[in-house]
Amino acid sequence: MKKRTRCISWAGAAVVAALAAIQLAPVSRTNPPVRTGVAAPAGVDEILRRACYDCHSNETRWPWYSYVAPASWFVVRHVNHGRGDLNFSEWPAFDFEAEEHAFRDIEEQVSNGEMPLRNYIWLHADAKLSKDDRDTLLRWARSQGASN
């Protein structure tokens, strides 16, 4: 029995040491300057900031777990991917084709319930879109996409 207890103790120590060691892996949590923000009415802007900006802007609020590996690796990768798909801080203000594509993408993702992601909502309940939030975003995206 003592041998088994020692083995479990060594295994536990090894896990703790491994978790401590992975904290040393560099992770780049950045918030680059905002270039051109999206022009949205106040109600839409509030919804975007609450439900979208953490992954789709350069104004990410980095939660405590984004500083703890291995969660930090996932969060940073997710934010970088989100910014690559759509970044409200680098809005294509003078590229009407790109802007129209962004509005169509917003409309598609919101109407299909694909955004915000479910796993994001688990940790950020305030980001969940109500029916009114969805309707507001859809009206805005449709009106903007049609005006270009």
Reported as a pLDDT band with limits 50, 70 and 90, residue 43 is: very high
As a whole number of angstroms, the distance between CA 141 and CA 46 comes to: 15
Tokens (6 digits) for 3: 């041998």
Residue 147 has pLDDT above 60, yes or no: no
> For residue 131, what pLDDT is reported?
97
Tokens (6 digits) for 20: 């401590």
> For residue 113, what pLDDT is reported?
93
Q: Which of 35-39, 62-66, 97-101, 135-139 has the highest mean pLDDT?
A: 135-139
* pTM metric for this prediction: 0.82
Summarised one tens digit per residue, pLDDT across range 81-104 is 999 999 999 998 778 899 999 999
Mean pLDDT of the chain: 87
Burial (0-12, 13-18, 19+ Cβ within 10 Å), 84: exposed
